[in-house]
Amino acid sequence: MTDQIQKQDPNECPYAQVDYTVSPELEGQLETLHAEDWKPTSQEHDDQQARHELNEESVEKFRLFDDEERANRTNEAARYVNEWTLKELYQRLKSFPCLYPEFRDAGDPGKLGLFVRIRGQESRLFDKNLDKGLKYICFVQYPRMPEWSIFRTDDYGLEQEKYRGWRTIELRLILEGAITEEEGQNLFGSPTLGIVSEPFRKELWKFRNRK
């Protein structure tokens, strides 16, 4: 079909007969509209502001963090450090006995799904589409990932993950029961203290104390 179109005489193409020219009258109107800067009326401005405030209120309950934590989680300069490649992550996970890590297409560019074997639950079926003992942990960013996940916010302050950090992967492995907190430190190293690592350490504390 493509070859037939390429060999077709352009003079015989039905689209060649369509007139795309603009009349002088319409062209003048378009130039006038283009030259004028549109400014909303006072009522239109008030309506826009009201809709904006309503939208802000409607998304408030969907926000993930308070202002202080949002500032931390979106601080790319502080959080995009200690970059790893996917190979580095795989080598670390593979060095741990019984995990048998697998990466599978996540259906999203730049992302892979991480699956591991759960020690002591080899006969358990976590998902009917997976082998027994195999469990989905989380998605992994590739080909490179920073230490800490980084979020961005839209016009209403709603957070979305921009970069998936390898500390998030460590945390998910612990929360899903694939490794212990001590094993996580052996595999990934201990995080530095400070505001950047505070959310990570807080989540571990909550898990440790089942809060």
Please give the Cα distance from 11 to 23 (Å, whole number).
24
Phi, psi of 85 (to 5 degrees): -90, 165
178-194 pLDDT per residue, tens: 999 999 999 999 999 99
Please give the Cα distance from 82 to 143 (Å, whole number).
14
Helix ranges (H only) for 8-41 are: 24-35
CB 133 within 8 A of CB 117: yes
70-105 pLDDT per residue, tens: 888 899 999 999 999 999 999 999 999 889 999 999
What pLDDT does 194 receive? 94
Residue 165 covered by a domain: yes
Residue 6 covered by a domain: no
Tell me which H or E stretch contains 88. helix 86-95
Mean pLDDT per 10-residue section of the chain, whose length is 211 residues: 40 36 51 46 52 58 77 93 96 93 91 95 92 95 95 82 96 96 95 94 92 56
Residue 2 covered by a domain: no
Q: Which domain holds residue 178?
A: 67-208
Residue 116 covered by a domain: yes
What pLDDT does 22 receive? 44
Residue 152 covered by a domain: yes
Please give the Cα distance from 112 to 210 (Å, whole number).
29
What pLDDT does 25 receive? 58
Number of domains in the chain: 1
Residue 159 covered by a domain: yes
What pLDDT does 187 receive? 95
Residue 85 covered by a domain: yes
